[in-house]
């Protein structure tokens, strides 16, 4: 099996970019170790603090964020980082050209129940035009150099793209290296699985309510086939299921909390996952526009997300086309 660096070399990925990716994986190995130690590592449970999102932080949220941030900035190859757990951008080497945005531990509410969690990341290049702080990261998804996630499950997996398809690497703990285990992922265009947080159903926009109602009606409804629902409460594992065997995943806009109509963050959740989806032959949208084309306005900006098997996403988007008047100004 091939190791990560030779694979990236064969794709002519720049050496400094490979070093940044390798640094992320060094941090991921340590996070993986602490997760698999569980209570033995003394890092389970919550802190008394909330992050910029207003979410109570798990101890491992804080530890994971600090590990990734420190390791990246110590390389001297990173100009700035942006994290779900940081209020603002953290500056690094002023002469470096790479920008890294990440969610250090997606699905961290699963930690204490021994459920799947992961790290999501995207790597951008410092823009040519003058920019400082937050402005550095206000780039569209099409400008990503690399993106992916590390899934900490029964095995630790790296799923990544540099714009040349999607590959899967598995951490071999005996040698401490990520080894290539799937050379190219292609998502089937059709599916009979969907993932969504049904507890928010009554707060969704009408087109999403109708779409899900038709899926639930199964073979007796307009879709004329039965669907299974899968929901892991961690974007990394829900998206990984789609990349592995097809499906549609959505965290749509809802009116449960008018101050936060959308759950997922554009820069370090929706954008990198959309890059992977499109590279694997899938599709990703807010319901009204392609996520990869959105011009960010803030590093913690939130968006509605619908992604997965191309034909099923297209079917879902058809419901939104039938209700154009429901489009919110914020999406």
Q: Is 108 annotated as a binding residue?
A: yes
Q: Is 311 annotated as a binding residue?
A: no
Q: Is 225 annotated as a binding residue?
A: no
Q: Is 84 annotated as a binding residue?
A: yes
Does 248 score more than 90 pLDDT? yes
- What is the reported pLDDT for 45? 58
- What is the reported pLDDT for 186? 97
β-bridge partners, 228: 193
What is 193-326's CATH topology? D-Maltodextrin-Binding Protein; domain 2 (3.40.190)
Query: What mean pLDDT do residues 83-106 have?
Result: 96
Q: Is 109 annotated as a binding residue?
A: yes
Confidence label for 131 from pLDDT (cuts 50, 70 and 90): confident
Q: Is 110 annotated as a binding residue?
A: no
Name the residue ranges covered by the structural domains of the chain: 4-182, 193-326
Q: What phi-psi label fits residue 238: left (phi over 0), alpha (psi between -120 and 50 degrees) or beta?
A: alpha
Confidence label for 1 from pLDDT (cuts 50, 70 and 90): confident
Q: How far is the first Cα of the chain from the last one, in angstroms, to the nearest whole number? A: 43
Q: Is 105 annotated as a binding residue?
A: yes
Query: pLDDT digit string (tens) for 177-209?
Result: 999 999 999 999 999 999 999 999 999 999 999
Q: Is 269 annotated as a binding residue?
A: yes
Q: How far is CA 119 from the centre of its chain?
A: 8
| CATH superfamily of the domain spanning 4-182 | Fructose-1,6-Bisphosphatase, subunit A, domain 1 (3.30.540.10)
Of the listed ranges 1-5, 9-13, 38-42, 210-214, the one predicted with least confidence: 38-42
Q: Cβ distance 241 to 149 under 8 Å?
A: no
Does 331 score more than 50 pLDDT? no
- What pTM did the predictor assign? 0.93
Does 101 score more than 70 pLDDT? yes
E strand segments, the chain: 46-50, 56-58, 78-83, 90-91, 98-106, 117-125, 146-152, 156-161, 166-172, 177-182, 193-195, 228-229, 248-251, 264-265, 283-285, 302-303, 305-308
């Amino acid at each position: 099996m091939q190791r990560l660096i030779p694979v990236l070399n064969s794709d002519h990925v720049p050496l400094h970019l490979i070093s940044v990716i390798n640094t992320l994986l060094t941090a991921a190995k340590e996070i993986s170790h602490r997760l698999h130690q569980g209570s033995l590592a003394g890092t389970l449970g919550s802190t008394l603090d909330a992050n910029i999102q207003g979410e109570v932080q798990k101890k491992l949220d804080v530890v994971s964020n600090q590990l990734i941030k420190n390791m990246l900035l110590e390389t001297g190859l990173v100009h700035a980082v942006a994290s779900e757990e940081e209020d603002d951008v953290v500056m690094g080497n002023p002469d470096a050209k790479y920008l890294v945005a990440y969610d250090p531990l997606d699905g961290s509410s699963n930690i204490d129940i021994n459920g799947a969690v992961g790290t999501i990341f995207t790597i951008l290049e410092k823009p040519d035009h003058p920019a400082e702080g937050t402005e550095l990261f206000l780039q569209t998804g099409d400008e990503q150099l690399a993106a992916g996630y590390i899934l900490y499950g029964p095995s630790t997996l790296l799923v990544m793209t540099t714009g040349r398809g999607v590959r899967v690497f598995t951490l071999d703990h005996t040698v401490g290296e990520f080894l290539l285990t799937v050379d190219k992922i292609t998502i089937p265009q059709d599916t009979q699985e969907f993932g969504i947080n049904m507890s928010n159903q009554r707060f969704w926009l009408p087109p999403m309510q109708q779409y899900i109602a038709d899926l639930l009606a199964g073979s007796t409804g307009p879709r004329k086939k039965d669907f299974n629902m899968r929901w892991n409460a961690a974007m990394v594992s829900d998206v990984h299921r789609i990349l592995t065997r097809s499906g549609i995943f959505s965290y749509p806009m809802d009116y449960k909390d008018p101050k936060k109509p959308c759950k997922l963050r554009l820069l370090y959740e929706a954008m990198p996952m959309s890059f992977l989806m499109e590279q694997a032959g899938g599709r990703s949208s807010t319901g009204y526009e392609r996520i990869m084309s959105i011009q960010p306005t803030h590093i913690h900006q939130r968006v509605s997300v619908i992604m997965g098997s191309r034909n099923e996403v297209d079917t879902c988007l058809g419901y939104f086309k039938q209700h154009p008047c429901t489009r919110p100004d914020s999406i």
